[in-house]
Structure 1
Amino acid sequence: MSFQKVSEFLKQLDSSLEPIHFEEDTNTVDEAAKVLGVEGAQIAKSILFKSGASYGLFVTAGDMRINQKVVKSLLGAGKPKLAAPEEVYEITGYKVGGVCPFALNHEVPIFLDESMRRFDIVYTAAGTPHSALPISFEKLQEITKGIVINTQTVELVR
């Protein structure tokens, strides 16, 4: 159902973007990279954080870690933590391992790490732990209306 949701969203927005469905699991960076035949850094991780009552979806290259100070500075009050799997599903409409960074159930700020710019194409999940969407950073930013950040430092990138 979630893969179909992403496919239909993309058909209406940009028919040149086509998600790929796999028989194999692609819910971790390593699994997705192996199935796609690319390096892990090209896999775009979508991670939902919660700070107080605020949520934010952070999308970063597969080889990057997100600095908690960055999350706190962007989401505000409270100690930031990973959203629970139930919260991820409620907010995004996708289960952990298949979180697509658009066509979400609820509007939340989306933060795109500039580390993905080093690739012509990155691969986001497409709604299931058996899917991927090849997409350029520029197109990802356009679709998500994401705010470009550096997840290592507390600064926005223009």
Structure 2
Amino acid sequence: MSDEHFLPSNMPEAPDASEPLDALPESARRVALLLRECGHEKPVVMLPQTGKTSAEAALGLGCSVAQIAKSILFRRRDDDAPVLVIASGANRVDEDKVAQRVGPVARADAKFVREKTGYAIGGVCPIGHVTAPVMLIDEDLLQLDSLWAAAGHPHAVFNLSPEELIALTGAPVADVALRA
């Protein structure tokens, strides 16, 4: 994998693409190396501003909010297992739909997120967790050609297709979006 950053051709203001792998923050470097081990050739990109919210990340990348594959962590009530939902940035997650698939859940606090994933909120990557989570992928992500997911740090993201997301995580696809 090259240390050059892949950026979509339609991006108006591309983040700096010259940062070498060793210049990444430790958590993002860990993700970059894990992606490389998995055969994923697109590198981690550092955003100049935070990507803690889907809107911030989309603005920094010049993509739609729907293309942000946001990671929402829940705590399963019966056994305290982490439940990670990778959802379109344009969607709110319907906790009842998630509970129907995995059992009753509650929102996770920052301490639980860090302990179970190894990442801070805003930087939770779909892979490389301390404790393997139960996972679900929002079916709406499959309608898109290109996604951006957090890469272990609030400023770090990486590009992938919905098919690559499924292959990297092994997670089932489900209807998890809150519908009006």
How high is the TM-score relative to the length of structure 2?
0.80
Equivalent position of 2:87 in the other structure: 60
Tell me if the contact between 2:48 and 2:60 (Cα under 8 Å) persists in the aligned partners: no
Residue 133 (structure 1) shift: 0.8
Does residue 148 (structure 1) correspond to residue 173 (structure 2)? The answer is: yes
Residue by residue, what CA displacement relative to the aligned partner does 1:52-82 show, whole Å, maximum 9, x if unpaired? Answer: 1232100010111111211212222x4x221
Tell me if the contact between 1:49 and 1:71 (Cα under 8 Å) persists in the aligned partners: no
Whole-Å separation in 2 of the counterparts to 1:51 and 1:16 = 34
Unaligned 5+ residue runs, structure 2? 1-25
Equivalent position of 1:36 in the other structure: 61
Report 1:8-19 matches (<5 A).
Answer: 8-19=33-44
The runs of 4+ residues in structure 1 deviating greater than 3 Å are: none
Letter in 2 for 1:19: V
Report 1:23-102 matches (<5 A).
Answer: 23-52=48-77, 53-76=80-103, 78=104, 80-102=105-127
Q: How many residues get paired?
A: 151
Whole-Å separation in 2 of the counterparts to 1:15 and 1:106 = 22
Equivalent position of 2:27 in the other structure: 2
Whole-Å separation in 1 of the counterparts to 2:142 and 2:102 = 23
> Between the two proteins, what is the percent identity of the paired residues?
31
How high is the TM-score relative to the length of structure 1?
0.90
Query: Greater Rg, structure 1 or structure 2?
Result: 2
Does residue 114 (structure 1) correspond to residue 139 (structure 2)? The answer is: yes
Aligned-pair RMSD on alpha carbons? Answer: 1.3
Q: Which has the higher contact order (CA 8 A, sep 6+)?
A: 1
